[in-house]
Amino acid sequence: MERLPDFGAQHGWDRDYPTYSDFDLPTYVGLPTFMNLPWLPDPAELRRRGVDIAIVGAPFDDGVSHRPGARFGPRAIREAQYTSGSIHSLQLRNEPFEIVSVVDAGDANIVPAWLERGHAMIYRKVREVAASGAIPIVFGGDHSVTWPAATAVAEVRHPASIGIVHFDAHADTAPEDWGVLGGHGTPMRRLIESGAVAGRNFVQVGLRGYWPPVDVFAWMEAQGMRVHFMTEIEERGLDAVVDTAIAEALDGPEAIYISVDIDVLDPGVAPGTGTPEPGGLLPRELLRAIRRIVAAVEVAGLDIVEVSPPYDQAEVTAMAANRIALEAISALAAKKAAGRRIRFEPAPGVAGKRTEGGVAGLAVEAPAAAPREAAAARDRRPE
């Protein structure tokens, strides 16, 4: 009988080679989850495993006023790093993934061109993650995603309240964007109007440029919002401003939700964004601020938004966003290693509310009832 050819042996391809887990492989190999972490979209599984931190994608940019593309942000942020396995933070001298349990909980169930449904799906996804006790780190998406995301976190934390520290070049407190209540110029007003966050605990850092107009600032002042302009950072330094921001956000609430619009960075170091404004922070300054806030306060959630890969160069903007998440995770790991609690246990009944059941269950529940045209009409109806 003719012997089967063994080309493997002939070429030496049958010798022993080491193989690696998905987590330890280079991040360009395999599925593009954040840091090669497990893709774990099931909220029941998040709770069962006691996950500390969960990445959530909000690939949505139907709310942009000018340059689009932020729908591609979550994937770009997940991909923009070239280390893998048990990384070592040289800033905090720890190996965060050895200390905290982090997974990639997947994306909200987004379809294009349906603003109202997109916000509903982001609210449900973030709510089910937060209700599992994990801290959600949300990758946007345009800044309108902060409206449903922070609302979900505020609801899960109820009756405790949250403060918000919001890094941005812009205030995002418009009454409406060309008649649309859910545009990315409006989310901070929606959060305050609804009562999700008190105006006096809404703290903005890094504002500069030429927006918003005088009447919008008058509304912000009437709400008691605290605003720290870039000029104040230039004069007092970012450390001092961040210390003030923490005290203001926690003037009543017990925990802080951090919202980072990547355009708080200077467009020279972060060009991949929809509405760039010259004169911003350096990544070095922003990463330090994130480490300091996370170390000092109880973190209820974090979002990183407005990364628009089509306008990016050499991934620099996506990498900055990726590192904001990594710095927050490393700082949370330092707290856990020091014996401090980072997970949150919601009150009984919170987890079982209507959003429980995973994305598959939501997909059948959502589109059937609400005709697209009616939803669109509601989107466009001014107050």
Residues that bind Mn ion (CB under 5 A): 143, 168, 172, 261
Closest separation between CB of residue 20 and Mn ion, Å? 39
Q: Are 281 and 320 in contact (CB under 8 A)?
A: no
**The residue type at 276:** P
Closest separation between CB of residue 270 and Mn ion, Å? 13
Closest separation between CB of residue 61 and Mn ion, Å? 12
CA distance 99 to 88: 11
Closest separation between CB of residue 187 and Mn ion, Å? 8
Q: Which is nearer to Mn ion, 71 or 143 (CB)?
A: 143
Q: Which is nearer to Mn ion, 127 or 184 (CB)?
A: 184
Q: Which is nearer to Mn ion, 261 or 315 (CB)?
A: 261
Q: Are 230 and 206 in contact (CB under 8 A)?
A: yes
Q: Which is nearer to Mn ion, 103 or 149 (CB)?
A: 149
CA distance 309 to 264: 16
By residue count, the chain amounts to 383
CA distance 163 to 251: 8
Phi, psi (degrees; rounded to nearest 5) at 201? -100, 10
Q: Which is nearer to Mn ion, 172 or 277 (CB)?
A: 172
Q: Which is nearer to Mn ion, 156 or 205 (CB)?
A: 205
Q: Which of 66, 81, 93, 85 is nearest to 276 (CA)?
A: 66
Q: Are 188 and 173 in contact (CB under 8 A)?
A: yes
CA distance 283 to 16: 44
Closest separation between CB of residue 13 and Mn ion, Å? 53
**The residue type at 294:** V
CA distance 282 to 269: 7
- In Å, the largest CA–CA distance within the chain is 92
Work out the burial of residue 296: count CB atoms within 10 Å of its CB; fewer than 13 is exposed, 13-18 middle, 19 or more buried: middle
Q: Which is nearer to Mn ion, 103 or 126 (CB)?
A: 126
Residue with tokens 């912000």: 220
Closest separation between CB of residue 27 and Mn ion, Å? 28
Q: Which is nearer to Mn ion, 104 or 172 (CB)?
A: 172
- The beta-carbon contacts of 348-355 under 8 Å, at least 24 apart in sequence, are 350/131, 350/155, 350/156, 350/158, 351/43, 351/47, 351/131, 351/132, 353/127, 353/131, 355/123, 355/124, 355/127, 355/128, 355/131
Closest separation between CB of residue 68 and Mn ion, Å? 14
Q: Which is nearer to Mn ion, 97 or 147 (CB)?
A: 147
Closest separation between CB of residue 208 and Mn ion, Å? 12
Closest separation between CB of residue 249 and Mn ion, Å? 17
